[in-house]
Amino acid sequence: MSGMLYGGDEIGALVFDPGHHSLRVGYAQEDTPKAEIPAIVGVAPDGGPKLEPEVKVEGSGGSSSSINASQPPTSAAAWKYYIDTTFLHTPRQNMELHPYMKDGMIENWDFFEKVIDYSYAKIIQSESEYHPVLFSESPWNQRPKREKLMEIMFEKYKVPAFFLVKNAALAAFANGRSTALVIDSGATHTSAVPVLDGYVISNAVVKSPLGGDYLVLRARELLEAQGIDLTPASMIASKEVVRDKDKAKYVKKPISFAPTNSWMAYMSKRTIQDFQQTVLQVSETPYEERVASAVPAVHYEFPTGYHQDFSSERFRLAEGLFDHAMLGAGYIASTSAGMCDVDVRPALYSSVVLTGGNSLVQGFSDRLSRDLSLRTPGSMRLKMIAANGTVERRFGAWVGGSILASIGTFQQMWVSMQEYQESGKVQIDRKCP
Amino acid sequence: MADVRDIMELDQPVTPELTKEAILGADKNKKRLFNAGQKVSKRPEGMHREVFALLYNDNKDAPPLFPSDTSNGYKQTKIKLGMRKPRKWEWMSFTNPARSDNTLFYHWRRPSDETKEYPFAKFNKKIDIPIYTDAEYNQHLTTEGWSRQETDHMMDLARRFDMRFIIIADRYDTEKFPKRTVEEIKDRYYKVCGILAKLTNKKMYTYDADHEKRRKEQLKRLYERTPEQIEEEQFLIGELKKIEARKKERERKTQDLQKLISQADNQGETPRKADKKLPKKKITNPSRPSRVDTSHILQAVETAGIKFPDYKNSGVSLRSQRMKLPASVGQKKTKGIEQMLQDMGMELNPTPSEEICQSFNELRSDMVLLMELKSALGTCEFELQSLRHQYEALNPGKTLTIPAQLLTAGNEQEAVKIGEIIDVVGSPGTPSGI
Ligand SMILES: Nc1ncnc2c1ncn2[C@@H]1O[C@H](COP(=O)(O)OP(=O)(O)O)[C@@H](O)[C@H]1O
């Protein structure tokens, strides 16, 4: 059996990796998730007759997400939910956007279920009862939430088997380690999580609220202070070429209504995220105006057509991730390692795994390795493991889940429907450590 | 083998070749057939071996036109498409014996493998964590500080996390039970195991929690050194190395000195006594130690001064050749000799008559000896001084008075002394005429 050779055995499992920025969904044993769905749900009152055109399938990638469900007590009117990029990015009357994640954990279960419904219907396109499901969770996920997730998956989706793994452990697996210090820099936070033999040492997890969203916040301050128009691309019908730093000349799409504030905020955040991903860079050594301004500037054009050079600001903004005395990425990493048993520290330092979308900010890994090496005890070997590919880095936890769920020896770990029916949800802590 | 036999024109029965089949004893029929075939193709009388080999080789296929490797080691066989019906794979259910329930999972499998056990189940290894009964616990396992519940909890965690004590300590239920360190948990675990093992006469392990604690404390301190501390340590290690190197150097010099002294004692006597002593020794039966002694002294004599090579046996040579300093005399010493010769107003290369040649060589040998003695004296003096300093440092307030005869007081005296030494040492064989 060729599967034996590689230890793989595919059983048609699905992997879900919920994050603040997005939910990653796909089949186990594949290289990348089938879809990355923004972790935000648009809700608008259902306009009745408007329903028909919305439901029709448009092209390949984005198909309609309208899943009707009545919002229970607040109003009798039907609500319409908008999920995934294509639907979220179009302005709609009275569409309010709601995140369903908080602190790395699922907060709003109704919205979350809508997204899962959408995933099964449009992305997996198969019945949930045929596929075992592996979920990732943040290392500090709480027991009631774990139980609830298990309950929903078994009761509502009737999955044949379910498993829950800490995303840091998965990220370590994706990088070929079972023992590692995982530095995960996501949208809302950056965390340092020691993983030993695939188990997270939960008392030594350190996290800081400095992540991608923090950069967005700082970038927004800067751009707004400079009076730069952040109108999103989906509001713009046409634009003209203007000279560097000249006022943008563009025509707005004719929309009869004013988009909601939450939508505008979300869209401008997307705009800033793009700016942040293209322009920002972490300098290799602590920020110095003189050094930073010597680096060639980067040119960036906003959706409105306005464009200009950014030079030292690029570094000044990104510096926020590192210059904080207690929350900088290097600091939390060494603190976390310092909280572990002395015997495991050398192993942790010798495989520091970097993952999460925000770690893709230019220069992030170089700076982290510099900051960390200053804090590494002299006699220890420091090795940073950072996947080169954007996909591997952003979807680290998902890829790890994909690997784990398709390993032959893992198949005995699943919590099966039978076990769930026998012992209920309380066994989650025993079964999924 | 067959080739060799052919060349030797030997007509021996073919010994069966060593093949895997022969060793395994399988395929006997085939072997016989093979042998029979070989018998059939016997080389006709008068045919050249090479020609025969071209016609009939072992596997009887066409003779190679070009040396080629026909074994399938390197050549890849091409996939034959559409020749056979492909084997089927089916999406089928399976149960995993490693699971405690009989849940059906589905995967792709060959129908022919259906009856086989799930191949990964055999990797399901479990560590044996001992279990105890209530009676056993109450009788043997009660201790202060650990309740039955807590012990149960700890053993349960050990089972769940396969004795990964760091994880056990991490997941310990600190709401119900006090917080425990890794060492405390390990200690309790191994004590329980040890007692249970004793009851059943099994091998038991001991765990020294105190020692572990101390080890970890030290390790922690080692890791938590600041860069300055590490630097200081490096510096100190460097210094220690230097001190050791200096000590060695001094020891070496002392040895040299001893050698020189023994030489100085003996050199004067050797040439004169050599003739007398040796016959004497022959008369009085020489005891082993004395012989060792003399050889030691002789060696010392040889190494100090200049050892001129012996030209007697090396055929014809110019006598001036004998006055050439051997290569073993260093640059510095050569310079010193020249200097001294000039000071004495002597030629650097006198006419090499037999006598002059010998005396000149001896003179220069003495000069080298003198130089070595001088430097040895310097070393001694240095050591004396450093010992004095050490003494004074160890006994503050006291001074060490060095006996006058050990001190070289003034330059004049020194010069005289050295002169005396030379007189003493100077080989009596030196003709006074020079
Ligand atoms: N190529 C990139 N360069 C810089 N930042 C990126 C890049 N790709 C994603 N990000 C940032 O990474 C964050 C999302 O990271 P992710 O690990 O997906 O978060 P989460 O796990 O919380 O969902 C966002 O803030 C996004 O702006």
Over range A342-371, report the average pLDDT.
92
State how far residue B406 is from chain A, nearest Cα, in angstroms. 51
Q: Are residues B381 and B295 in the same domain?
A: yes
Interchain contact B237–A (C-beta under 8 A): no
The confidence score (pLDDT) of residue B265 equals: 73
Beginning with the edge strand found earlier in the chain, give each strand of the sheet holding A35-38 in spatial order: A35-38, A22-27, A14-18, A133-137, A161-166, A415-416
Q: Are residues A232 and A290 in the same domain?
A: yes
Over range A277-294, report the average pLDDT.
88
Over range A27-37, report the average pLDDT.
92
The confidence score (pLDDT) of residue B279 equals: 42
On whether residue A367 sits in a domain, the answer given is no
On whether residue A385 sits in a domain, the answer given is no
On whether residue A329 sits in a domain, the answer given is no
Cβ separation of A419 and B103 shorter than 8 Å? yes
Q: How many CA atoms lie within 13 A of B149 on its CB side?
A: 7
On whether residue A195 sits in a domain, the answer given is no
The confidence score (pLDDT) of residue A359 equals: 93
Where are any strands of DSSP class E within A213-341? Answer: 236-239, 250-252, 298-301, 307-310
The confidence score (pLDDT) of residue B246 equals: 92
Q: Are residues B395 and B283 in the same domain?
A: yes
Q: Are residues B35 and B54 in the same domain?
A: yes
pLDDT digits (tens, 9 = 90+) for B99-121: 888 888 888 888 887 778 888 88
pLDDT digits (tens, 9 = 90+) for A215-244: 999 999 999 999 898 889 888 999 898 888
The confidence score (pLDDT) of residue B5 equals: 67
On whether residue B9 sits in a domain, the answer given is no
Q: Are residues B145 and B23 in the same domain?
A: no
Q: Would you say residue B83 has pLDDT above 70?
A: no
On whether residue B10 sits in a domain, the answer given is no
On whether residue B296 sits in a domain, the answer given is yes
The confidence score (pLDDT) of residue A193 equals: 95
What is the DSSP track for B273-289? HHHHHHHHHHHSPPPHH
How many CB atoms are closer than 10 A to CB B140? 14
Q: Would you say residue B263 has pLDDT above 80?
A: no
Residue with tokens 């046409």: A238
CATH number of the domain enclosing B174: 1.10.10.60
Q: How far apart are the CA of A325 and the centre of ligand 1, in A?
A: 23
Q: Are residues A220 and A129 in the same domain?
A: no
Q: Tell which of A275, A295, A321 closes a domain.
A: A321
Q: Are residues A303 and A418 in the same domain?
A: no
Residue from A139, A161, A141, A140 nearest A150 by CA? A161
Q: Are residues A126 and A150 in the same domain?
A: yes
Over range A53-59, report the average pLDDT.
38
Interface test with A, best of B87, B91, B103, B165 (most A CBs within 10 A): B103
Q: Tell which of B60, B84, B108 closes a domain.
A: B84
State how far residue A377 is from chain B, nearest Cα, in angstroms. 5
Q: Would you say residue A292 has pLDDT above 90?
A: no
**A132, A344, A412 member nearest B98 (Cβ):** A412
Query: What are the angstrom distances between the C-alpha of B402 and each of A40, B380, B406?
Result: 94, 13, 7
Cβ separation of A408 and B124 shorter than 8 Å? no
ipTM of the complex: 0.82
Range with lowest mean pLDDT among A252-261, B237-246, B279-288: B279-288
Question: How sure is the predictor about A22, in pLDDT bands with cuts at 50, 70 and 90?
Answer: very high
The confidence score (pLDDT) of residue A47 equals: 64
Query: What residues of chain B lie within 8 A of the CB of A9, using their CB?
Result: 107, 119-120
Q: Are residues B297 and B370 in the same domain?
A: yes
On whether residue B128 sits in a domain, the answer given is no
Tokens matching residue B173:
């239920």
Query: What are the angstrom distances between the C-alpha of A92 and each of A54, A100, A257, A390?
Result: 11, 20, 8, 32
Range 146-165 of A in CB contact (< 8 A) with B: 160-161
> A305-318 burial, b for 16+ CB within 10 Å, e for fewer?
bbbeebebbbbbbb
Q: Are residues A163 and A74 in the same domain?
A: no
The confidence score (pLDDT) of residue B67 equals: 58
Mean pLDDT across chain B, nearest whole number? 74
The confidence score (pLDDT) of residue A40 equals: 92
Q: Are residues B206 and B95 in the same domain?
A: no
Q: Are residues A63 and A74 in the same domain?
A: yes
The confidence score (pLDDT) of residue A113 equals: 93
Query: What residues of chain B lie within 8 A of the CB of A181, using their CB?
Result: none
Range with lowest mean pLDDT among A87-91, B43-47, B245-249, B379-383: B43-47
The confidence score (pLDDT) of residue A52 equals: 38
Into how many domains does chain B fold? Answer: 4
Q: Are residues B195 and B212 in the same domain?
A: yes
Residue from A211, A216, A214 nearest A184 by CA? A211
CATH number of the domain enclosing A264: 3.90.640.10
Q: Would you say residue B188 has pLDDT above 70?
A: yes
Q: Are residues A154 and A227 in the same domain?
A: no
Cβ separation of B123 and A199 shorter than 8 Å? no
Q: Are residues A59 and A126 in the same domain?
A: no
Interchain contact A11–B (C-beta under 8 A): yes
Size of interface A-B (CB pairs under 8 A): 102
Q: Would you say residue B316 has pLDDT above 80?
A: no
Q: Are residues A32 and A56 in the same domain?
A: no
The confidence score (pLDDT) of residue B429 equals: 42
Question: How sure is the predictor about A53, in pLDDT bands with cuts at 50, 70 and 90?
Answer: very low
Over range A190-200, report the average pLDDT.
94
Higher pLDDT: B330 or A345? It is A345
Query: What residues of chain B lie within 8 A of the CB of A199, using their CB?
Result: 161, 164, 167, 170
Q: Tell which of A266, A294, A321 closes a domain.
A: A321
Tokens matching residue A191:
């965390």
On whether residue B260 sits in a domain, the answer given is no
Q: Are residues B273 and B407 in the same domain?
A: yes
The confidence score (pLDDT) of residue A274 equals: 93
Residue A58 three-state SS: coil
Range with lowest mean pLDDT among A276-285, B340-349, B406-415: B406-415
Higher pLDDT: B102 or B247? It is B247
> Contact A207/A20 with Cβ under 8 angstroms?
no
The confidence score (pLDDT) of residue A206 equals: 94
The confidence score (pLDDT) of residue A403 equals: 92
Beginning with the edge strand found earlier in the chain, give each strand of the sheet holding A40-45 in spatial order: A79-82, A40-45, A96-99
On whether residue A179 sits in a domain, the answer given is no
Question: How sure is the predictor about A272, in pLDDT bands with cuts at 50, 70 and 90?
Answer: very high
Nearest-atom index, ligand 1, CA of A167: 21
Q: Ligand 1 pocket: which of A36, A105, A213, A277 to mutate (most atoms <8 Å of CB)?
A: A277
Tokens matching residue B238:
């460097």
Interchain contact B112–A (C-beta under 8 A): no
> Contact A31/A37 with Cβ under 8 angstroms?
no
Spatial separation of the C-alpha atoms in residues A120 and B31, rounded to whole Å: 64
Spatial separation of the C-alpha atoms in residues B350 and B320, rounded to whole Å: 9
State how far residue A173 is from chain B, nearest Cα, in angstroms. 18
pLDDT digits (tens, 9 = 90+) for B26-78: 444 444 444 444 445 677 777 777 777 776 666 656 555 665 555 555 556 66
Residue with tokens 């309950």: A151
Question: How sure is the predictor about A115, in pLDDT bands with cuts at 50, 70 and 90?
Answer: very high
Q: Are residues B278 and B345 in the same domain?
A: yes
Query: What residues of chain B lie within 8 A of the CB of A378, using their CB?
Result: 225, 227, 230
Cβ separation of A3 and B119 shorter than 8 Å? yes
Spatial separation of the C-alpha atoms in residues B347 and A23, rounded to whole Å: 101
Instruction: Specify the pTM.
Output: 0.68
> Ranked by mean pLDDT, which of A411-415, B22-26, B119-123, B348-352 comes out on top?
A411-415
> Contact A162/A187 with Cβ under 8 angstroms?
no
**B120, B170, B227 member nearest A408 (Cβ):** B120
On whether residue A351 sits in a domain, the answer given is no
Interface test with A, best of B91, B101, B120, B214 (most A CBs within 10 A): B120
On whether residue A347 sits in a domain, the answer given is no
Query: What residues of chain B lie within 8 A of the CB of A27, using their CB?
Result: none
Q: Tell which of A99, A132, A148 closes a domain.
A: A99
The confidence score (pLDDT) of residue A155 equals: 93
CATH number of the domain enclosing A419: 3.30.420.40
Q: Are residues A227 and A298 in the same domain?
A: yes
Q: Tell which of B193, B223, B253 closes a domain.
A: B223
Cβ separation of A4 and B119 shorter than 8 Å? yes
Q: Ligand 1 pocket: which of A358, A360, A362, A364 to mutate (most atoms <8 Å of CB)?
A: A358
**A196, A379, A422 member nearest B167 (Cβ):** A196
Q: Are residues B77 and B97 in the same domain?
A: no
Over range B137-149, report the average pLDDT.
87
Range 358-387 of A in CB contact (< 8 A) with B: 377-380
Q: Would you say residue B138 has pLDDT above 70?
A: yes
Range with lowest mean pLDDT among A52-61, A66-75, A273-282, A413-422: A52-61
Residues with CB under 6 A from ligand 1: A 19-22, 186-188, 212-213, 273, 276-277, 356-358, 360-361, 390, 394
On whether residue A341 sits in a domain, the answer given is no
Q: Are residues A50 and A160 in the same domain?
A: no
Phi, psi of A33, deg, nearest 5: -65, 150
Domain span at A146: 1-38+115-167+402-433
How many CB atoms are closer than 10 A to CB B243? 10
Into how many domains does chain A fold? Answer: 3
Residue from A33, A23, A1 nearest A403 by CA? A33
Q: Are residues A422 and A285 in the same domain?
A: no
The confidence score (pLDDT) of residue B332 equals: 84
> Ranked by mean pLDDT, which of A1-10, A85-94, B389-398, B425-434 comes out on top?
A85-94
Range with lowest mean pLDDT among B39-43, B147-151, B267-271, B423-427: B423-427
Q: Would you say residue A356 has pLDDT above 60?
A: yes
Q: Would you say residue B422 has pLDDT above 50?
A: no
Range 186-225 of B in CB contact (< 8 A) with A: 216, 219-220, 222-225
Residue nearest (by alpha carbon) to ligand 1 atom 9 = A357
Q: Are residues B282 and B408 in the same domain?
A: yes
Q: Are residues B61 and B190 in the same domain?
A: no
Domain span at B159: 134-223
